[in-house]
């Protein structure tokens, strides 16, 4: 194996996941592909292109820099910046022609000034905090006042109104209460708007579980990449994991009873066995909490990680007479023969979610993009 560790990203799987989500929401609802955090670690630009091929019509990011990256790659579709924008970032967001999320009157005033200075018109989405408790105003009256102000401002365009659900992956009762609040706000905002607007509330979990949350558009992130927003199994929703994390066997050495491997002697062998050293570690995104708490797949079999995860290596107990050789491929996320390990499996081991497992994979790990095994240019996504 030429590379010490590699994340292979199947863009065709992202495309098919987007198509499945489009079929799920129906022809009258638009799919916005969320490609923030470098496409959840999959590569923002190639992932965006794949999602658009699968039926997405808009893109969403968290920062001005992320919007700029998509524009420099030649993507012309609408881009919504979901996150807060500082005064320093704002010119970059405007330069990218991104639509911005607003909830604060002072920020709306700043946007008007920026639009006049640049002789442009800025699209905005007014955000109601219906229960997540982060960005947005909890005061529906203030949100409606912002709608009025934006509608009255020739420098701004009211592109949409939005909220974000806190428990669509779990408590649907609370999610429905949030939607009750948003229903009222959305109807009143439409009455104030001089043109048609886009109402949106659904994340991946709501897209799959709450039809009433779909409105005009859904914002799907983790589901595009074949992750389960409920952190169980993507197959439950006919989603295809797009990312496979692989490395290889770098060394094989015997270990005797009472001998140890790794920092802190966290593993002391109770038998005569063989230890495989695998060149991947927390410098690549495999966190230390997986010490003595993870499996790897080699040759269609499952083997336990033994000892501490170090920055660059892990060690695996492969048994006293392993049918392995140096150079054999090792799978951390993906399928090997009849064995399968998902990002959700790893996440559950350490009490987190697949979103974080994907995002933790560091830039030291190259992303190799392909379409069902056929390599493509990672910058363009084929």
Q: Residues with catalytic annotation?
A: 36, 263
User: Rounded CA gap, 3 and 169, in Å?
Assistant: 37
Element (H, E) at 277: strand 273-278
Alpha helices by DSSP H, listed for 159-299, are 172-192, 204-209
Residue with tokens 């056929």: 374
Radius of gyration of the chain (CA): 24
The token pair that represents 38 in the structure block: 């470098």
162 HSE (CA, 13 A, CB side) = 28
For residue 251, what is the enclosing H or E element? Answer: strand 251-255
CB atoms within 10 A of CB 154: 9
Residue 123 pairs in a beta bridge with 157
Task: List the one residue out of 233, 229, 230 whose CA is nearest residue 219.
Answer: 229
Measured CA distances, 241 to 76, 105, 122, 282, 313 (Å): 27, 41, 36, 22, 25
Contact status, residue 226 vs residue 352, Cβ threshold 8 Å:
no
CA pair distance 209, 84, nearest whole angstrom = 28
Q: What share of the chain is helix, strand, coil (3-state, %, to 5)?
A: 35, 25, 40
Structure tokens at 153: 């401002």
């Amino acid at each position: 194996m030429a590379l010490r560790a590699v994340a292979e990203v199947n863009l065709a799987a992202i495309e098919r996941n987007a198509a499945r989500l489009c079929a799920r929401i129906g022809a009258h609802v638009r799919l916005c592909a969320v490609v923030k955090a470098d496409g959840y670690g999959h590569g923002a630009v190639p992932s965006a292109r794949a999602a658009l091929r699968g039926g997405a019509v808009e893109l969403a990011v968290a920062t001005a820099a992320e919007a700029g990256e998509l524009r420099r790659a030649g993507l012309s579709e609408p881009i919504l910046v979901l996150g807060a924008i500082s005064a320093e970032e704002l010119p970059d967001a405007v330069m990218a022609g991104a639509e911005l999320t607003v909830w604060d009157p002072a920020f709306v005033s700043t946007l008007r000034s920026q639009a006049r200075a640049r002789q442009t018109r800025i699209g905005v989405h007014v955000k109601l905090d219906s229960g997540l408790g982060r960005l947005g105003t909890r005061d529906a009256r203030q949100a409606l006042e912002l709608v009025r102000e934006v509608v009255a401002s020739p420098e701004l365009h009211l592109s949409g109104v939005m909220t974000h659900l806190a428990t669509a992956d779990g408590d649907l009762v609370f999610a429905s209460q949030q939607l009750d609040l948003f229903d009222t706000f959305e109807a009143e905002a439409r009455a104030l708007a001089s043109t048609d607007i886009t109402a949106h509330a659904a994340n991946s979990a709501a897209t799959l579980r709450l039809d009433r949350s779909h409105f005009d558009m859904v914002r799907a992130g983790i589901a595009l990449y074949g992750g389960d927003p409920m952190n169980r199994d993507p197959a439950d929703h006919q989603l295809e994991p797009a990312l496979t994390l692989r490395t290889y066997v770098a060394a094989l050495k015997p270990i005797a009873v009472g001998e140890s491997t790794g920092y802190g002697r966290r593993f002391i062998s109770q038998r005569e066995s063989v230890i495989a050293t695998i060149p991947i570690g927390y410098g690549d995104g495999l966190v230390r909490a997986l010490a003595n708490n993870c499996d790897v797949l080699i040759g269609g079999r499952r083997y336990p990680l033994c000892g501490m995860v170090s920055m660059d290596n892990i060690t695996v107990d492969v048994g006293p007479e392993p049918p392995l050789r140096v150079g054999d491929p090792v799978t951390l996320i993906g399928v090997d023969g009849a064995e399968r390990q998902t990002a959700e499996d790893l996440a559950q081991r350490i009490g987190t979610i697949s979103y974080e497992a994907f995002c933790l994979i560091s830039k030291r790990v190259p992303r190799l993009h392909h379409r069902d095994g056929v390599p493509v240019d990672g910058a363009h996504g084929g």
